[in-house]
Amino acid sequence: MGFTPLPGTRAPVRVWTDPYAIEPQAAKQLRNIGALPWVQGVAVMPDVHFGKGATVGSVIAMRQAVSPAAVGVDIGCGMSAVRTSLTAADLPDDLSALRSAIEAAIPVGFAKRDDPVDPRRVRGLEQGGWDAFWTGFGDLDRRVRQLESRARHQLGTLGGGNHFIEVCLEQDGPDAGRVWLMLHSGSRNIGKELAERHIRVAQALPHNTDLPDRDLAVFLTGTPEMDAYRRDLWWAQEYARRNRAVMLAVLCEVVREQLPQVSYDAPISCHHNYVAEETYDGVEVLVTRKGAIRAGAGDLGIIPGSMGTGSYIVRGRGNPAAYCSASHGAGRRMSRAQAKRTYSTEDLERQTAGVECRKDAGVVDEIPGAYKDITEVMAQQEDLVEVVAHLKQVVCVKG
C-alpha cells in the first residue's frame, strides 16, 4: 500500500492508512500541523491516533524549527529486543516463575530501585560513557536538576501504561519457536518533566501567538530557547536508550539464571519518540517521530502489537516519501477510559489466553481490543518495511 495525500493542507501530508478511518480529532490535528509555516511535510503512519498537540503516529519534517509536542512527553520512548539461542522446548510448561523473577529484578509502575544501577555490576551492559552522561545532568534545565536522585534510582525501571517486558516465540519460517526477549520503555518521569517545561516556554514565545493549536508551539533555530531544548532533548533520549539497555541486560541475566545454556544475538534498539537531523531532497530538516520508528534502508526496527497479539521485527525500506519511517506499534483505537468502560477482566482473560501476564482490572485499559489490528497495520506499510520475524508473546510483564 502506498500513501494517500490529505487534502486541504499547505505542506504535503501523506497518509499510510485510510484517511476516512482517522478519528476527526486526529484529522484536525494533522491539518493544523500541515498549516504551520515551518513544516516541510508530514508522514502519517497506519497506527495514527489523537495525541497532545500532534497526533501519535506522525512524522513531521520542519525547517529550522521543532515543536516539543510533536516529539511527545516521553522523550526517547522506544523498543529493545534480542534473539536468544533458546527454543520453545527449553521453556518450562509453567511460566509463572519466570514472570515473577523478571518482576523481582526490574521495578515496574511507579517503583524505583533501592540503589542506583552500577553499570560495572551488570553483566553484558555497555561500560562506556556513563560518567560523561551523568555529568550532563548538571547542564539540564535548572528546574529539573533537583530530580537527579530520582532519575538515577529510576534508571533500569519499566514504568507503567503501555510499557512492557515480554518473552516471545518466533512464529514462522526455519526459526519458528525461537525465543526472543523484548521490552518497551522510555525516559521515565525525567523526560516528561523536561518536555512539559519546554512546551510551556514555547507557548509563551511571540512567534507562537497565532497558531491553530497552542500545543504546537515551536522553537526556532538560533535562539537560546531552541539550544536549551535540544540540549535537554538529546540527554533525555540518551537516558531512555540507556534505561532500556540496563533493563535488557538485567532481563538477559534473569533468563540466564533460569536457563544457563542460553546465549544471545546482538540486541536491536530503536526510539519512537524523538528528533533527528536528516536531509531530504537536499533540504536539511529536523524530523520528529512521535509514535514512529526510523526505517531507513536496512535499519532494523521493532513494531509491537498489544499484550495478547503478535509483534514484528522489521527491516526498513528507506522510503523517502515517509521520511524513512514506519509505525511504532498497533496504535490505540479507543482511549483508556473507553476501554475500561467497554471491557471487563473476563474479556481480558479471554483475549490474553495463553499469555502469562496480569489479568486484573489495573490493566484492562491495555486489553488487545483497545488497539488496532496489528496485522492490518503491517499490511498498510509494506512499502515502508519488510518483516524479518513475526513474534508472539508467552510472558508479558506490565506495571
DSSP calls for 340-364: HHH--HHHHHHHTTT-EE--SGGGG
Instruction: Name which of 255, 370, 354, 247 is nearest 305 in CA terms.
Output: 370
* Contact of 157 with 184, CB cutoff 8 Å: no
Within a domain: residue 148? yes
* Contact of 197 with 141, CB cutoff 8 Å: yes
Within a domain: residue 358? no
Alpha helical stretches, state H, the chain: 24-35, 96-105, 130-135, 148-154, 188-203, 224-258, 336-342, 345-351, 374-379
The total number of structural domains that make up the chain: 1
Question: Residue 270: which domain range?
Answer: 4-333+371-398
* Contact of 319 with 43, CB cutoff 8 Å: no
Output the CA–CA distances (angstroms, integers) from residue 330 to 137, 299, 307, in the order listed: 34, 19, 11
Confidence of residue 185 (pLDDT cuts 50, 70, 90): very high
323 burial class (0-12, 13-18, 19+ CB within 10 angstroms)?
Answer: buried
Within a domain: residue 174? yes
pLDDT computed for residue 201 by the predictor: 97
Q: How many CB atoms lie within 10 A of CB 84?
A: 20
Within a domain: residue 345? no
Within a domain: residue 109? yes
Q: Give the separation between CA 316 and CA 328, rounded to whole angstroms.
A: 13
Domain containing 15 — which CATH number? 3.90.1860.10
Confidence of residue 1 (pLDDT cuts 50, 70, 90): low
Arithmetic mean of pLDDT, 95-116? 97
Please give the share of the chain, as a percent, with pLDDT higher than 70. Answer: 100
Tens digits of residue pLDDT in 138-164:
999 888 988 999 999 999 999 999 999
Within a domain: residue 343? no
Give me Rg for the CA atoms of the chain: 20
Active site residue 328: yes
Q: How many CB atoms lie within 10 A of CB 100?
A: 12
Q: What is the mean pLDDT of the chain?
A: 96
Ligand-binding site membership of 163 (annotated): yes
Confidence of residue 371 (pLDDT cuts 50, 70, 90): very high
Catalytic residue among 198, 271, 328, 390: 328
Take residue 278 and report the three cell numbers written for it: 536528516
pTM of this structure: 0.96
Within a domain: residue 339? no
Phi-psi region of 328 (alpha: psi -120 to 50; beta: other; left: phi over 0): alpha
Give the HSE-up count for residue 104: Cα atoms under 13 Å, Cβ half-sphere.
9
Tens digits of residue pLDDT in 198-253:
999 999 999 999 999 999 999 999 999 999 999 999 999 999 999 999 999 999 99
Within a domain: residue 265? yes
